């Protein structure tokens, strides 16, 4: 009897510790791998069924083993044997599993040790007999499948199985071998001399290998089952770092840490080597990333599509307190998480003209492009947590077309031909170009069309691989528009159906209206995206024709319903008339989508009553809302492992990582002194990490006894960082004028602000400068000491957020009511037990319902009060405290008097559009309430626990389940073990 090369080492289970059942599937042995390979050949193989009755020799038990109870199974070549064993022994630990093959007798011998969930041997006869019978029934209950590929001899098939005899193992020794293999052959460094970054690269490739296994099997499973698939179209994905999230979702963090430790490296140090994939601006982009994680975890058949920007969101450099932008060269050292698919590319056309031709006796339009660019696919596997399902994020990069500029070559203008080809790559170079100029608008439109054209070509190709009737398209495809950036896809799909598939207009329109769903993140009508008509005509001439046809049909339908109300017709038209004609992208999306979603209940009301009131009155059934959420895997498990362990201890399970509603049971322990003590220790550890980072980054040493008061998000007037700074100035002014005895009663604060200002947004940049000017004054005032510090964190990104959020005591979300569509930042802080100081805006209203207003610090005008206050703003005198702090800035108390003049002008003399003065008194009262609560440590800790306990509703898992059921019509398609 010979031992095959697929013999198994000690079984390591990837499931949560509390549910650990030591599954054979976690080791991924030969039968599982063969099973996966069988799926690969589903459409090209002939299957021969063997009768199962001849496949089992025996199941025997050896009770006298030193450790555990040994089971020995003898069976003929039987597919699915090990998964059957796994199912029977769920809830037990399986270790020291081996598989041998007797070539003479043609059967396998599988031997493994079994203990119960507590690690004890199984000795009572009743249990042993029950397990033995269950194993016999499970193994005999199915049919064995042997694969024979048409035209492929059995010997060659078996040889292929031998070469791919199993999945990669996850034990530390196997991981070490893979890491060293990648050090030598991928990174091309000696395994005896490599540094932290090279070790990170090798580890990442090793983890990616495991993702690819799961990715292949998931895609083959989807292909076999042919479910309705979701295609998530977003121009922005703020993914952050991939290593930490991947090892958590794969369940191999401990194994990786152990493997690296034995090689002389620290996992945490290597994880820090990874740069952020900053392919987005803010909340919308990070939301996309969270939703991809939830789609994978919940086993939904889905793909994400976006752009692979050469340069991500700019790096923020602070020089003398002023923001400067530098390119984010995030691809300089490669990206180990992506797979370049050079064979997956599609031509994308621009410019040119349209002519009519007769095809099969019918007139049709033919677009003759003036420029063609190739879209090349880069795949990024997205693993789910607690499942083998791994879905895909496909990003497109622009490359020169294979076609030559014949005219330039013929005239000898070789240089011009090369330059024109290089222009193609500009399309995917820069994230969100400045679109204030015509050139910027043109590049933006080309980016939008480039990514949706390539994506739709890919989607239609995948559909046609399995189907030949486009009437089935809505039953197999759901297309999600993440805001208006991908809106041109509705026109592109119409063009493909009309001009390439030669379907009728009515049939094409019926298909389009059944597949698209639209989620908008806009709260102000004037902020809705518009594209100049002449730009459309130049860049996408055929699409403009289709838009005109869509709009004409819509206007005719609308006239029949509302009559000749030309004012309303003009408001609802896709084409905006005027001195400059524009295409309204939001109107286009609404007309062509079967569902329009808001991102919070408050946002939904704004859509119905202000932003899209006309459309809501016409199609009330189209409008829904799904409150945004964030993934607890990233924002607790990855970013706050200490809190993760504490929650699991008190809930006595790790199941909350998947079923986040279980967090609500923390309420039962919120007043427990033991929990509170441990909760405070976790917070202190996280504050220590943040304090070290602040000192390293800025040189400011902060006290751990102080309240860490944080506002991190994009710098914008409506987000009111200016209000925060004015509040800090007021606190400073009060402390400065106090008697020494009164200062001892002051609650010390470390005020932390972080965020990037858009490059062309001068007021936002002045807010950043003011923050630094005020910090310079306060942090160097010996009268103040540790009672107050102000810190600005530069180059804020996902990785910085993972450090800042767990270390925060108080988080500010203080936008003017009615301006925040949802606000996912507050949800991340909430999950980490940070108390919120907020206005009743966006999703905050729903957070209040979950945890109670008494556990938050709510202030400011309500959404329905804002319009009235703006009308009266010129006649209402701002409070004295507000006028005093603004005067301090205006008079140059913090320097730069002339520079800050225009900033002060935005809140004085009847120009306070965002109501800083109106809300200032209420804001100070909320801050005072936070001070009083912080003094009572037990009360504060209880409020913190209740915040985490009430955060389950704001998981992206819940958001995705709502979308799947109510909007997309998709169902889970779980990859079997």
Residues pairing with 316 in the sheet = 325
CB 476 within 8 A of CB 463: yes
- Please provide residue 897's backbone torsions phi and psi, each rounded to the nearest 5 degrees: -55, -50
Residue 3: count of CB within 10 angstroms of its CB: 11
Which string of DSSP letters, residue by residue, matches 265-279? --HHHHHTTPPPEEE
Please say if 608 is a catalytic residue.
Answer: no
DSSP state of 169: P
The reply to whether 467 belongs to the active site is no
| CA separation for the pair 729, 775 (Å, rounded) | 10
Task: Please tell me which residue in 210, 495, 719, 789 is annotated as part of the active site.
Answer: 719
C-alpha–C-alpha distance, residues 863 and 36, integer Å: 55
Decide: 383 and 207 in contact? Cβ < 8 Å: no
Active-site residue identified among 93, 169, 521, 716: 521
Instruction: Name the helix (H) or strand (E) containing 182.
Output: helix 172-185
Q: Are residues 836 and 830 in contact, defined by beta-carbon separation less than 8 angstroms?
A: yes
Task: Decide: 754 and 935 in contact? Cβ < 8 Å.
Answer: no
Report whether 267 contacts 256 (CB < 8 A): yes
Calculated CA dihedral for residues 285, 286, 290, 293, nearest 10 degrees? 70
Residue among 86, 387, 595, 824 flagged as catalytic: 824
- Catalytic option among 713, 756, 813, 819: 713
Catalytic residue among 634, 687, 828, 953: 828
Instruction: Give the H or E element holding residue 624.
Output: strand 623-625
Cα–Cα distance for residue pair 679/389, rounded to 1 Å: 34
* 3-state SS, residue 731: helix
3-state secondary structure 223-268: HHHCCCEEEEECCCEEEECCHHHHHHHHCCHHHHHHHHHHCCCCHH
Report the distance separating Cα 956 and Cα 105, nearest Å: 54
Distance of CA 891 to the CA centre of its chain: 45
Residues 6+ apart with CB under 8 A from 316: 323, 324, 325, 756, 794, 795, 796
Order of strands across the sheet that contains 107-115: 56-62, 69-76, 107-115, 93-102
Q: How many CB atoms lie within 10 A of CB 884?
A: 14
Residues 6+ apart with CB under 8 A from 505: 498, 549
**Cα distance between residue 308 and residue 399, in whole Å:** 12
What does the alpha-carbon distance between residue 446 and residue 575 come to, in Å, rounded to a whole number? 19
SS3 category, 72: strand
Q: Are 144 and 49 in contact (CB under 8 A)?
A: yes
Beta strands in 116-240 (DSSP E): 144-149, 229-233, 237-240
Task: Give the separation between CA 393 and CA 790, rounded to whole angstroms.
Answer: 39
DSSP per-residue string spanning 554-620: HHHHHHHHH-S-HHHHHHH-SEEPSSS-EEEHHHHHHHH-SEEEESSHHHHHHIIIIISHHHHHH-G
Catalytic residue among 514, 684, 689, 714: 714
Please give the sequence-ordered ranges of beta strands (E in DSSP) within 106-234, or none if there are none: 107-115, 144-149, 229-233
Handedness of CA 243, 245, 250, 253 (dihedral sign): positive
Based on the residue annotation, tell me whether 824 is a catalytic residue of this protein.
yes
714 is catalytic: yes
Q: Which helix (H) or strand (E) holds 410?
A: helix 406-410
Question: 353 exposed, middle or buried (CB, 10 Å; 0-12, 13-18, 19+)?
Answer: exposed
Chain centre to alpha carbon of residue 165: 34
Residue 719 falls in the annotated catalytic set: yes
The catalytic residue positions are 521, 713-714, 719, 824, 828
């Amino acid at each position: 009897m010979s031992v095959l090369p697929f013999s198994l080492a000690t079984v390591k289970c990837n499931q949560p510790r509390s549910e650990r059942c030591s599954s054979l599937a976690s080791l991924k042995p030969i039968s599982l791998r063969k099973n996966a390979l069988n799926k690969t050949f589903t459409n090209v193989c002939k299957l021969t069924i063997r009768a199962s009755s001849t496949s089992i020799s025996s199941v025997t038990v050896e009770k006298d083993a030193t450790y555990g109870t040994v089971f020995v199974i003898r069976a003929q070549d039987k597919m699915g044997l090990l998964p059957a064993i796994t199912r029977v022994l769920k809830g037990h630990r399986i270790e020291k599993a081996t598989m041998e093959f007797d070539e003479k007798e043609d059967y396998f011998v599988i031997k493994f040790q079994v203990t119960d969930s507590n690690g004890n041997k199984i000795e009572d006869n009743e249990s042993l007999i029950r397990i033995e019978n269950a194993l016999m029934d499970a193994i005999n209950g199915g049919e064995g499948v042997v694969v024979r590929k048409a035209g492929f001899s059995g010997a060659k098939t078996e040889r292929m199985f031998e070469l791919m005899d199993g999945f990669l193992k996850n034990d530390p020794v196997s991981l070490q071998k893979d890491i060293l293999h990648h050090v030598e052959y991928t990174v091309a460094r000696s395994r005896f001399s490599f540094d932290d970054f090279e070790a990170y690269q090798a580890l990442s490739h090793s983890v990616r290998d495991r993702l690819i296994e799961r990715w292949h099997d998931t895609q083959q499973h989807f292909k076999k089952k042919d479910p309705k698939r979701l295609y998530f179209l977003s121009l922005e994905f703020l993914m952050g770092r991939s290593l930490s999230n991947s090892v958590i979702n794969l369940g191999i963090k401990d194994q990786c840490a152990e493997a690296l430790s034995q090689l002389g490296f620290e996992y945490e140090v290597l994880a820090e080597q990874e740069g952020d994939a900053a392919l987005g601006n803010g909340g919308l982009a990070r939301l996309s990333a969270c939703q991809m994680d939830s789609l994978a975890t919940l086993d939904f058949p889905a793909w994400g599509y976006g752009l692979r920007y050469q340069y991500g969101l700019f790096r923020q450099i602070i020089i003398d307190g002023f923001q400067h932008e530098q390119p984010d060269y995030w691809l300089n050292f490669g990206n180990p998480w992506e797979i370049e698919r050079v064979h997956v590319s599609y031509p994308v056309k621009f410019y040119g003209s349209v002519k009519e031709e007769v095809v099969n006796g019918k007139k049709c339009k033919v677009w003759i492009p003036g420029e063609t660019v190739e879209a090349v696919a880069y795949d990024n596997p997205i693993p789910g947590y607690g499942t083998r399902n791994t879905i895909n994020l496909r990003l497109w990069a622009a490359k020169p077309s294979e076609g030559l500029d014949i005219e330039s070559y013929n005239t000898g203008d070789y240089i011009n031909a090369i330059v024109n080809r290089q222009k193609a790559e500009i399309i995917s170079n820069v994230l969100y170009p400045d679109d204030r100029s015509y050139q910027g608008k043109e590049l933006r439109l080309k980016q939008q069309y480039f990514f949706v054209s390539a994506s739709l070509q890919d989607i239609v190709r995948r559909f046609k691989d399995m189907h030949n009737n486009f009437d089935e398209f809505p039953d197999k495809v759901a297309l999600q528009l993440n805001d208006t950036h991908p809106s041109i896809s509705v026109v592109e799909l119409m063009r493909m159906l009309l001009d390439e598939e030669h379907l009728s207009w009515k049939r094409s329109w019926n298909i389009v209206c059944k597949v698209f769903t639209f989620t908008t993140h806009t709260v102000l009508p004037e902020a809705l995206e518009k594209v100049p008509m002449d730009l459309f005509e130049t860049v996408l001439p055929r699409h403009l024709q289709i838009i005109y046809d869509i709009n004409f049909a819509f206007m005719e339908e609308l006239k029949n319903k509302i009559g000749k109300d030309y004012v309303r017709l003009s408001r609802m038209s896709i084409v905006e008339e005027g001195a400059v004609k524009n295409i309204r992208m939001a109107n286009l999306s609404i007309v062509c989508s079967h569902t329009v979603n808001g991102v919070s209940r408050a946002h939904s009301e704004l859509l119905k009553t202000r932003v899209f009131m006309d459309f809501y009155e016409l199609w009330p059934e189209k409008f829904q809302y799904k409150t945004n959420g964030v993934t607890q895997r990233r924002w607790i498990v990855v970013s706050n492992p200490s809190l993760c362990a504490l929650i699991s201890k008190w809930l006595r399970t790790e199941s909350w990582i998947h079923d986040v509603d279980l967090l609500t049971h923390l309420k039962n322990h919120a007043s427990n002194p033991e929990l509170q003590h441990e909760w405070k220790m976790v917070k202190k550890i996280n504050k220590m990490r943040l304090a070290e980072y602040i000192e390293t980054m800025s040189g400011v040493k902060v006290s751990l006894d102080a309240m860490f008061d944080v506002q991190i998000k994009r710098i914008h007037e409506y987000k009111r960082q200016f209000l925060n700074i004015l509040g800090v100035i007021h606190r400073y002014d009060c402390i400065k004028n106090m008697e020494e005895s009164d200062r001892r009663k002051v609650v010390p604060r470390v005020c932390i602000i972080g965020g990037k200002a858009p490059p062309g947004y001068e007021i936002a940049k002045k807010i950043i400068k003011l923050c630094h000017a005020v910090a310079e004054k306060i942090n160097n005032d010996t009268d103040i000491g540790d009672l107050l510090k102000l810190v600005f964190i530069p180059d804020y990104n996902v990785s910085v957020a993972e450090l800042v959020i767990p270390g925060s005591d108080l988080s500010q979300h203080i936008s003017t009511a009615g301006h925040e569509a949802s606000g996912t930042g507050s949800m991340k802080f909430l999950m980490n037990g940070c108390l919120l100081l907020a206005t009743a805006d966006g999703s905050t209203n729903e957070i209040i319902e979950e945890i109670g207003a008494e556990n938050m610090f709510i202030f400011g005008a309500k959404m329905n009060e804002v319009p009235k206050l703006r009308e009266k703003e010129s006649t209402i005198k701002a409070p004295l405290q507000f006028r005093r702090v603004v005067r301090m800035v205006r008079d140059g108390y913090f320097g730069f008097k002339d520079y800050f003049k225009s900033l002060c002008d935005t809140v004085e003399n009847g120009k306070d559009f965002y109501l800083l003065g109106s809300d200032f008194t209420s804001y100070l009262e909320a801050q005072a309430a936070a001070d009083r609560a912080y003094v009572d440590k037990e009360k504060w800790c209880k409020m913190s626990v209740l915040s985490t306990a009430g955060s389950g509703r704001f998981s992206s898992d819940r958001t995705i389940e709502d979308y799947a059921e109510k909007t997309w019509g998709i169902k889970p398609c779980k990859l079997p073990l």
